[in-house]
Structure formats: C-alpha cells, structure tokens
Amino acid sequence: MKNITILGSTGSIGTQALDVIRKNRKDFNVSALTTNSNIKILYDQVLEFNPDIVVIVDYNKYKEFKTMISNKDIKTQILFGEEGLIEAAIYDKADIILSSIVGIAGLKPTFEAVKKGKTIALANKETMVTAGRIITEMAKESNSTIIPVDSEHSAIFQCIGKERKYVSRIILTASGGPFRNKTLQELKSVTVSDALKHPNWNMGKKITVDSATLMNKGLEVIEARWLFDIESEYIDVIIHPESIIHSMVEFIDGVILAQLGIPDMRIPIKYSFTYPERTLGYVARLDFSKIKNLNFETPDVVRFPCLKLAYDALKSGDSSCIVLNGANEVAVNLFLQGKIGFTDIYYIVAGVLEKHINVEIKSIEDVLEIDNWARKIAYELYNKR
C-alpha cells in the first residue's frame, strides 16, 4: 500500500489521479490533498478519500470549508496557506507526492518535498522550467526520486529505462494544438473559447492555452533538459496531431524507441505511482486496426514563435527560463481574462525577455525574485500598450 499526497487535487491532473486511486484502492491510500480555493470539489474528495491532511491555500475559503465540514465526523487535519502546503508536501506518512499545482505556485512545496527525500510524481513542469538545476541537484543530495507525469516525459522515461548512457536524441511529440492549421492572420483574432478547445486532451486552462501557443512544448523542452540531463541541441520537437506516440528516444546505434497509447493522463499518472512495477490499467486500449495514419510535421516557429523563445531562453541561461515562465503566466492570464489577444502572449513574453540580463541563480529565493521581476515587467508592458 502506497500513501499518496496530491498537491493540487482539485485540478485536471489531481482529479484524474484520484480516479486512479479510486480504481486501485488496494494499492493506494490518500495521505493529503490540497487546493487553492476549490472547496466544493475538495469537500467531496475529503468525504470519499478520508485524507489525514487537507490544505486550502486561500484563508477565507479555509474558514468557509471548516464551517462546511464541521458537522462531519472526520479525523482530517485542515490547514491553510503556503505553510500548510509545505506541511502536506513533507508529511512523514506520504510515500509519493504528486506535484500537480499549476504554475510556479507549485515550486516551493515541490522543492521542500524533494529536500525531504520524497518520491515525486512530477506533473508541475513549471518547477523544472524555473528551477531545474536546483531541483535536480537537491534530489541527488537528498536521494529523492523524480518520476515524470507529463505524458511526453513519462514516455521518454519509459523508453530510456536503464540505457541513459546510450541516448543520442530525444524527440518530443506535440499535438500542434487547436490552431495547427491557422494562418498568422487568423491567429490574431482567435478567441479564448477557441483556444480552450484542445483536440486531444482535456486539461486545465493554463496548459491548454500553452498548448495552443506551443509554449507548452517549449516548457517541455526545458523540462526534458533537466529531467534527463541532456542539452537542448539533442532535444527535437515534432508535431504529431494524433497524440498516439507520446514521445521517442533515439540511441547511439540509430535505434528509436517510442511509447504509444491512447491520450489519457491516467496512464502516466498511474505509472508514476506503480513505478518500477506495472499494474492492470483500466483505460481504453489502442486499436491499430482503427488507426489509419500517424502524421508528422515540422513545427512552424513563424506562426508559433513561443517554441523558439523557449529554446533561446534555455541557451541563454537559467534566469531567462524563469523570466520566460513568469512572463508567460501573466500573459496567459491576461489572455484568459480577455485583456489581450492570442498573439500578444508572444509579444509580452519576448518583450520581458528582451529587458532581462541573465544572472546566476543559486537558490529558490533567487528564482522567486526573478519571477517577481518578470511578472512586474509583463504587467508594465501590458499597461503601456
């Protein structure tokens, strides 16, 4: 029996992880659950999974939740704020910490869990994008294992197995998102609801917009850089609209291994929980007789320049990756609020990066300081428009 803590249990990854646990109650137990403010979903989760700890980051929602649940006979300890998140992240009884908060908000608790030597199931890619070097160094020191949940990185992790020393190239696949066939002119007038219609995956809003700009793939290139200790010139991106091949690894002898399956995040989530074992999966199976074609295209960085921004940031240095991420979080939020157009996301992120001079990053505090700066400049650029 493994005890699992889910940081961000009310989101897309969090709720799918609980579905995995629901279908495998003999193998998994829930030790802690956290949300930013979604107490309605959390309430049902607490009654169903009976965790030792729950955390509501928002203080008013925390107070509301306490009232809501006061007539229930539960043993769950209810905490709030960032301190609560960290307490959940380092909770002694948890074997695996699923890091599935969205954005850099997931960084601190994930770092603390790594420092504690926990096994991390990592969905929160922003942690690796902003602090990959610090996190991987800390993991070595503390003996923490990081198992990727992001479908591409789970695929790569599985393809590499014990053959890391023979890897020559990583090939990340990308669906291309909802705007794959749009012209640059058309992209200028796409709406928020267009951007939220992803062809193959049902995900949180931020990553869905990132998938539409291809920034998601850029963030994943940086994530792969740190997860697999490989330089960016050996990481390729290929558009594969069917999302059947989740990614590939090329070895020095020219052999390529790929991991395939239907697009369902419960597969990599469960793998991260059962690793190094595999257990019976309750998901649909791939039927090759129904797959007519697997297609591949080179990504177009003229229409989707965010992908190139990410490669450039990686080359330029650690602090540029923090700036890329922070400015992108602000720009995506502005887009979701209807305040900027789709193509403005790129201009804001590029504009903030242009003003940034790379600095050395030594600690999580340094990361958060640069992140704050990037957010401030992103809002300034928006206000000046």
Per CB under 6 A, residues contacting ligand NAD are 8-14, 35-36, 38, 57, 100-102, 105, 123-126, 150, 201, 203-204, 206-207, 265
Distance (Å, whole) CA 9 – CA 28? 15
Q: Which does 87 bind (CB under 5 to 8 A by kind): ligand NAD, Mg ion, none?
A: none
Hey, which bits of 36-107 come out as E strands?
53-56, 77-80, 96-99
13 binds, among ligand NAD, Mg ion, none (CB under 5 to 8 A by kind): ligand NAD
- Using the minimum distance from each CB to ligand NAD, give the nearer residue, 109 or 305: 109
Q: Using CA atoms, how far apart are residues 233 and 246, in angstroms rounded to an integer?
A: 20
69: how many CB neighbours lie within 10 A of its CB? 17
31's enclosing H/E stretch is strand 28-35
Please, which residue, 18 or 258, has the CB nearer to ligand NAD? 18
Q: Are 89 and 31 in contact (CB under 8 A)?
A: no
Which of ligand NAD, Mg ion, none does residue 124 bind to, with CB < 5 to 8 Å depending on kind?
A: ligand NAD
Sheet holding 256-260, edge to edge: 235-239, 167-174, 245-251, 256-260
CB 339 within 8 A of CB 381: no
Residue nearest to Mg ion (CB): 150
Cα–Cα dist 177/207, whole Å: 11
Closest approach, Cβ 148 to Mg ion, in A, equals 9
If the CB atoms of residues 182 and 246 are measured against Mg ion, the closer one turns out to be 246
- Cβ-based nearer residue to Mg ion, 35 or 175: 175
Which one of ligand NAD, Mg ion, none interacts with residue 250, CB within 5 to 8 A by kind?
Answer: none
CA atoms within 13 A on the CB side of 91: 29
Rounded to a whole number of angstroms, the minimum distance from the CB of residue 78 to Mg ion is 33
Residue 119 or 173: the one with the smaller Cβ distance to Mg ion is: 173
211 binds, among ligand NAD, Mg ion, none (CB under 5 to 8 A by kind): none
Rg (the chain; Cα; Å): 20
Q: Exposure pattern of 330-346 as b/e (b: 16+ CB <10 Å)?
A: bbbbbbbeeebebbbbb
14 versus 299: smaller Cβ distance to ligand NAD: 14
Spatial CB neighbours of 24, under 8 Å, sequence gap ≥ 6? 270, 279
Which of Mg ion, ligand NAD, none binds 243 (CB below 5-8 Å, type-dependent)?
Answer: none
Least Cβ distance, residue 86 to Mg ion (angstroms): 26
In the complex, minimum distance from the CB of residue 188 to ligand NAD, in angstroms, rounded to a whole number:
25
Whole-number minimum distance, CB 385 to ligand NAD, in Å? 26
Q: Which of 31, 264, 265 is nearest to 148 (CA)?
A: 265
What track of x and - describes contact with Mg ion for positions 272 through 311 (by CB under 5 A)?
Answer: ----------------------------------------
Q: How many CB atoms lie within 10 A of CB 205?
A: 17
- State both tokens at 252: 């020095």
**Least distance from Mg ion to the Cβ atom of residue 260, Å:** 15
Smallest gap from Cβ 39 to ligand NAD, in A, equals 10
Minimum gap (Å) between residue 152 Cβ and Mg ion: 5
Footprint of Mg ion on 131-160 (CB under 5 A): 150-152
**Smaller CB separation from Mg ion, 151 or 319:** 151
**Strand order through the sheet with 77-80:** 77-80, 53-56, 28-35, 2-7, 96-99, 119-122, 146-148
Among ligand NAD, Mg ion, none, what does residue 105 contact (CB within 5–8 Å per kind)?
ligand NAD
If contact means CB under 5 to 8 A according to the sort of partner, which of Mg ion, ligand NAD, none does residue 204 touch?
ligand NAD
Give the number of residues in contact with Mg ion, rule: CB under 5 A.
3
Among Mg ion, ligand NAD, none, residue 203 binds (CB under 5-8 Å by kind)? ligand NAD
CA distances to 69, 147, 220, 328 from 66, in Å: 5, 34, 38, 35
Q: Where are the beta strands (DSSP E) in 252-385?
A: 256-260
Positions that interact with Mg ion (CB under 5 A):
150-152
